[in-house]
Structure 1
Amino acid sequence: MPLTKQLTVAIIDSNPALGRKDCFKKDDPPDPRVSTVTPATISFFKDAGAWQYVQQHRHAYFDRMQVWDYTGLGYTRYNARDVDKEVLGCVVENKVLLRSLLSCLQNTDFQKTIYPSMLTSMTLSPSLSSMGVDGTSSGTTMPTCGGLAKLELNDGNSLYAKLVVGADGSKSRVRELAGFKTTGWKYSQNGVICTVEHAVENQCAWQRFLPSGPIALLPIGDKFSNIVWTMDPKESSDCKSMSEDDFVNAVNHALDHGYGPHPQSQLFGGGNILSWFRPDVTSSSSECFEVPPKVVKLASERMAFPLSLRHANQYASRRVVLIGDAAHTVHPLAGQGVNLGFGDASALSRVIAESVAVGSDIGEVHLLKKYEADRKPANIAMMALLDGFQKAYSVDFGPLNVLRAAAFHGAQYISPLKRNIISYASGEQRLPLFS
């Protein structure tokens, strides 16, 4: 931002990717670690000047999404045109997002230094009488500054900062050193991710709720898709160890007729679920259930990781603020975790710019609490929604199955609700309220 380009920024990150210029080849297989970025996140990348770099590499926009469950009672389809948009989102490999942000950083004219190190300690310094121009300790005398954060790195460097942004993930060292407490729990589920290949290009995002958790099939371009499959730990271990052919068969089984029938209009007492909402509507071919494209090949290693929900009780204190997974981790069933993080970054950058505009100290707690007040309700709402979905599908019970099916059909055929769900998921409004 014009107001913040004069700030001196230090990035402390031991990720070796920050120190090299990766060259992605067109025929390289996709990385199994991907993110589904929403239109709001895409806009943030464009504003920062980073989206042009994403477009130079493999990525896949999608304008349709189908969600259904294993009971065969209900499904819903979302289309970008329902909210007068061109796309619902874009699936991008994490390495491409990282490289695009780094390219943007390197090509932007502001003072920055990358330290390929780890943070070992962080304290609030009561005063500072000598500090180098790059923020490291030195013999250069500068005006005394009170209450800066002092950072000690494992390479021996010491840095002083007006503001420390903890963007260091779910096991945040910044959060630990700053003494922020968290609330949360572990799910008795693992996530299995991998890249698969089709005979035809996939252009839709698919998600099916199974008895042990959802499976998602996300397009990533060039006839490849990404699998995100939630299951219990024993199943995830079996999925990782089974042969490639058996795994491909298991994926196709889970995305097609396995565990239950395909959704269709279900009769209940002479009417169907659809008629409860819109008696005058019959399902058009564009809204009919579709079977996802068959997977023909496994195209990457299979990775598994435990799932959890965790939320920092506070995001900010004097000189320190948390964003992204350092502040909150969510269930991956809707792919919203990374978008919440970029929403944090966008909100924090605005607050910092406002502070610079009026000449305030960017590390003052009252300023950082404005950021917290902005983001905390939105993050909690999304976390509660995703946790509710996870719990609703952890029980297989007849009456509950019917209620879930009714909710699916409501999302499909009640137009205002459908538009608000799409707008909420794309990051364009806070809560799915009727408007």
Structure 2
Amino acid sequence: MSEKKYQVAIIGGGITGATVACLLAEKGISVALVDAGDPSAEWPQESYDLRVSALTLASINVFKSLGVWDEIVQLGEQPIEKMYVWDHFGSGELAIDSAEAGEMQMGAVVENRITVLALWKKLQLLKSCDVFKLTQLMSFETNEDGVSIQLSKNTQVNAQLLVGADGSNSKIRQLSGIEHYGWSYQQKALVAIIKPEKLHQNTAWQRFLPEGPLALLPLRDGLISIVWTSSVETTEGYLALSDSDFCRELVEASEQQLGKLELVSQRGAFPLALQFSSQYCQQRMVLIGDAIHTIHPLAGQGANLGLKDATVLADVVLKAHIAKRDIASEQVLRRYERQRKGDNLLMMGIMDGFKRLFAADQSLIKLTRSSGMGLINQSALLKNQICKYAMGV
């Protein structure tokens, strides 16, 4: 059995896990990054990942600091310069332009596989990081001195700190017995890549419909990525339609903002839920990203929350390392938890509140909602604040 010692072992090589690995390994921390797939694998040309993220300027700055943003741009990113939101009820609308806030863009839409590939390319250049592809976590044991981690392929690694970046169904969280709370929204989000008749104008479009929001995000090559939230039954019905019938429904739902629409990918769907853990860490183990929080996608903040977790965790670990303290001490891990828990809970509460506000069917609430959007749209100050919030600054 092969066995090697590291300072940090990270399970999950997606955006959050790979970012933590980069932030630590480039500072000389020895890192083992383990992923059940092969994030460095090539993909067919003219194909698109249904999983995309609307990255804020704050998240983009993290990637710039790591030196991977140029690679992401080369592989294919799409700036978001404007945002247009409107309600199915009344005349409520909100138009925001990043130029009015003194910025060239408020963020960018990037396929998840592009972001991950850029990060993995960086990791393969860092001597302090070993990557384990197509490798699964089997079990782990912690003690006062470290963590013994059993992987597939008859491999074992030892580390001072174990990081769970293994998603909403985190095996590390389950093996640790950490309780997870939340509820299902009884909704599914339908995702697909669409070719619009009209230019997307570097604009993120979102219409609030009775069953949930429809987001049309600008994507590379003049395409758009849609995230269409509806009840489970309605979404299943959309998935069963022919391509032409589905596009006809989509054109109607978007009120022809981008003209005729053509499907250029498969359609996929995933269930929506709010989930959170009250406990972020245990002895020599810590959770980040979707392993501790999942939120409604109506504002596209899931990946950005995970990146905030990644940067804060890396910061407290590096500070402990520089001070020659135990990087996995309870004091260090609790500092990360204190810094992130409040922000994560606030964002989850805001997104849940927005979801319920725009799903409300009472006439008075709908009227107030529509009027409120109109009033905000007339205030340059409020729109600039919303724009800065969307940028993550």
TM-score, L = length of structure 1: 0.82
Q: Summarize the Cα distance change of 1:3–1:121 in structure 2 as closer, same or farther, 3 Å threshold.
A: closer
The residue aligned with 1:228 is 227
CA contact (8 A) 1:37 1:89 kept: yes
- Could you tell me how far apart the structure 2 residues matched to 1:223 and 1:101 are? 25
CA offset digits 1:94-152 (Å, max 9, x no partner): 11111111111112342423253111212113xxxxxxxxxxxxxxxxxxxx4211111
The residue aligned with 1:9 is 31
User: Is residue 2:307 matched to residue 1:335?
Assistant: no
Q: Summarize the Cα distance change of 1:410–1:378 in structure 2 as closer, same or farther, 3 Å threshold.
A: farther
SS in 1 for 2:39: helix
The residue aligned with 1:237 is 236
CA offset digits 1:27-67 (Å, max 9, x no partner): x0322221111101000111112111101112210210001
CA contact (8 A) 2:25 2:128 kept: no
Range moving further from structure 2, 97-106 or 209-218: 97-106
The residue aligned with 2:165 is 167
Amino acid at match of 2:245: D
Amino acid at match of 2:29: L
User: Is residue 2:254 matched to residue 1:255?
Assistant: yes
- Could you tell me how far apart the structure 2 residues matched to 1:317 and 1:15 are? 26
Report the structure, 1 or 2, having the larger helix content. 2
- Could you tell me how far apart the structure 1 residues matched to 2:134 and 2:29 are? 20
Q: Summarize the Cα distance change of 1:369–1:100 in structure 2 as closer, same or farther, 3 Å threshold.
A: same
SS in 2 for 1:86: coil
The residue aligned with 1:180 is 178
CA contact (8 A) 2:83 2:205 kept: yes
CA contact (8 A) 1:53 1:103 kept: no
User: Is residue 2:152 matched to residue 1:149?
Assistant: no
SS in 1 for 2:47: coil
Q: Summarize the Cα distance change of 1:23–1:183 in structure 2 as closer, same or farther, 3 Å threshold.
A: closer
CA contact (8 A) 2:33 2:129 kept: no
State the Cα distance separating 1:217 from its structure 2 match. 0.5
TM-score, L = length of structure 2: 0.90
User: Is residue 2:57 matched to residue 1:39?
Assistant: yes
- Could you tell me how far apart the structure 2 residues matched to 1:17 and 1:349 are? 22
- Could you tell me how far apart the structure 2 residues matched to 1:373 and 1:102 are? 29
User: Is residue 2:353 matched to residue 1:353?
Assistant: no
Equivalent residue pairs, number:
370
- Could you list the structure 1 runs, at least 4 aligned residues long, displaced by more than 3 angstroms after superposition: 1-4
The residue aligned with 1:57 is 75
Q: Summarize the Cα distance change of 1:328–1:79 in structure 2 as closer, same or farther, 3 Å threshold.
A: same
SS in 1 for 2:113: helix
- Identity level (%): 34
Of the two, which has the highest radius of gyration? 1
CA offset digits 1:161-185 (Å, max 9, x no partner): 1111110000001111122212100
The residue aligned with 1:112 is 130
- Could you tell me how far apart the structure 1 residues matched to 2:24 and 2:191 are? 40
User: Is residue 2:365 matched to residue 1:400?
Assistant: yes
CA offset digits 1:219-271 (Å, max 9, x no partner): 10222100100001111111111011111110110010xxxxxxxxxxxxxxx
- Could you tell me how far apart the structure 2 residues matched to 1:420 and 1:164 are? 38
Amino acid at match of 2:389: Y
User: Is residue 2:269 matched to residue 1:304?
Assistant: yes
- Could you tell me how far apart the structure 2 residues matched to 1:379 and 1:56 are? 32
Counterpart of 2:390 (choices 420, 425, 431) is: 425
Amino acid at match of 2:35: D
- Could you tell me how far apart the structure 2 residues matched to 1:228 and 1:406 are? 25
The residue aligned with 1:84 is 102
- Could you tell me how far apart the structure 1 residues matched to 2:291 and 2:375 are? 35
Q: How does 1:83-102 map to 2 (within 5 A)?
A: 83-102=101-120
SS in 2 for 1:177: helix
Amino acid at match of 2:36: S
State the Cα distance separating 1:23 from its structure 2 match. 5.4
Amino acid at match of 1:234: E
The residue aligned with 1:322 is 287
- Could you tell me how far apart the structure 1 residues matched to 2:109 and 2:58 are? 14
Q: How does 1:263-282 map to 2 (within 5 A)?
A: none
CA offset digits 1:248-300 (Å, max 9, x no partner): 110110010xxxxxxxxxxxxxxxxxxxxxxxxxxxxxxxxxx6212431000
Q: Summarize the Cα distance change of 1:81–1:403 in structure 2 as closer, same or farther, 3 Å threshold.
A: same
CA contact (8 A) 2:53 2:110 kept: yes
Q: How does 1:195-206 map to 2 (within 5 A)?
A: 195-202=193-200, 203-206=202-205
The runs of 5 or more residues in structure 1 that have no matched partner are: 126-145, 257-290, 429-435
SS in 2 for 1:393: helix
SS in 2 for 1:347: helix
The residue aligned with 1:72 is 90
- Could you tell me how far apart the structure 1 residues matched to 2:199 and 2:220 are? 7
- Could you tell me how far apart the structure 1 residues matched to 2:129 and 2:59 are? 25
State the Cα distance separating 1:366 from its structure 2 match. 1.0
The residue aligned with 1:271 is none
Counterpart of 2:343 (choices 359, 367, 378) is: 378
State the Cα distance separating 1:191 from its structure 2 match. 0.4
CA contact (8 A) 1:201 1:221 kept: no
- Could you tell me how far apart the structure 1 residues matched to 2:218 and 2:283 are? 43
SS in 1 for 2:146: strand
SS in 2 for 1:170: coil
